[in-house]
């Protein structure tokens, strides 16, 4: 997809970047990416994908913006309280980059709609905060042959990995479903806002790599982030 003169100026630092260039930027413009969840991880994802010029970003979320979200969910503003997160994210993207289309999906992902959601996009990024939804999205992506970037955070820590149709899958990383007690909700144990920024930005980087063919994605590798120790650890699976 050809870039307009204004887009060429906007993405100038990408276009001069070896490994991206004009061709990579055009590929980003043509890409259709689905972000599941417009919360702590979804916010930096949406922000950086829109800034990077990903042409179509679908966002799935059925929640509304509340005051307690604003400590980490950076695409939402104080005056957005009470409106849907998808609408708030759409307003953010429109102000940031008019060349990006945000497609709203104001709904909760379930077994009835997940396949049709995934089918409309080239790549899926899951930033949801419960295991059942993450498993459902991963299975839908595997069945559809779509790559998936998956991230999670809790308290001071986070993780990110990539599932590709030809590589290890969600079931390889999680052969057994963990107990709820092992995955406490952020509402109960809390999360440092900046941790979601670190992990969400890493997820956005993996998405850009997958779209452009740049570098080596985190396929079969789980990248763990310990915010208190400022340490990254990589595990193979």
Residue tagged active-site, from 3, 186, 222, 224: 186
Q: Are strands 101-105 and 157-163 parallel, antiparallel or unpaired?
A: unpaired
- For this structure, is 141 an active site residue? no
Residues near 119 by beta carbon (within 8 Å), at least 6 away in sequence? 144
User: Exposed/middle/buried for 142, CB within 10 Å: 0-12, 13-18, 19+?
Assistant: middle
Q: Are strands 221-226 and 101-105 parallel, antiparallel or unpaired?
A: unpaired
Please choose, from the candidates 224, 196, 206, the residue with its C-alpha nearest in 3D space to the C-alpha of residue 75.
196
State the catalytic residues. Answer: 186
């Amino acid at each position: 997809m050809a870039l307009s003169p204004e887009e060429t100026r906007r993405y100038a630092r990408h276009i001069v970047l070896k490994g991206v260039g004009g061709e990579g930027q055009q590929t980003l413009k043509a890409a259709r990416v689905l972000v599941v969840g417009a919360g702590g991880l979804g916010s930096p994802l949406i922000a950086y994908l829109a800034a990077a010029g990903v042409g179509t970003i679908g966002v799935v979320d059925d929640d509304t913006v509340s005051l307690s979200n604003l400590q980490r969910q950076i695409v939402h503003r104080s005056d957005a309280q009470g409106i849907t997160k998808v609408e708030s994210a759409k307003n953010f993207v429109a102000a940031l980059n008019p060349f990006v289309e945000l497609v709203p999906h104001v709904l909760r992902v379930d077994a009835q709609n997940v396949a049709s959601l995934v089918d409309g996009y080239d790549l899926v990024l899951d930033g949801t905060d419960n295991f059942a939804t993450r498993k459902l999205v991963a299975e839908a992506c595997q069945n559809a042959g779509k790559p998936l970037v998956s991230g999670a955070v809790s308290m001071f820590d986070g993780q990110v990995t990539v599932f590709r149709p030809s590589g290890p899958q969600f079931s390889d990383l999680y052969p057994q479903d963990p107990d709820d007690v092992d995955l406490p909700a952020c509402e109960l144990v809390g999360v440092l806002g900046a941790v979601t920024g670190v992990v969400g930005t890493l997820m956005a980087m993996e998405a850009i790599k997958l779209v452009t063919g740049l570098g080596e994605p985190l396929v079969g590798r789980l990248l763990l982030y310990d915010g208190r120790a400022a340490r990254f650890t990589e595990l193979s699976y």
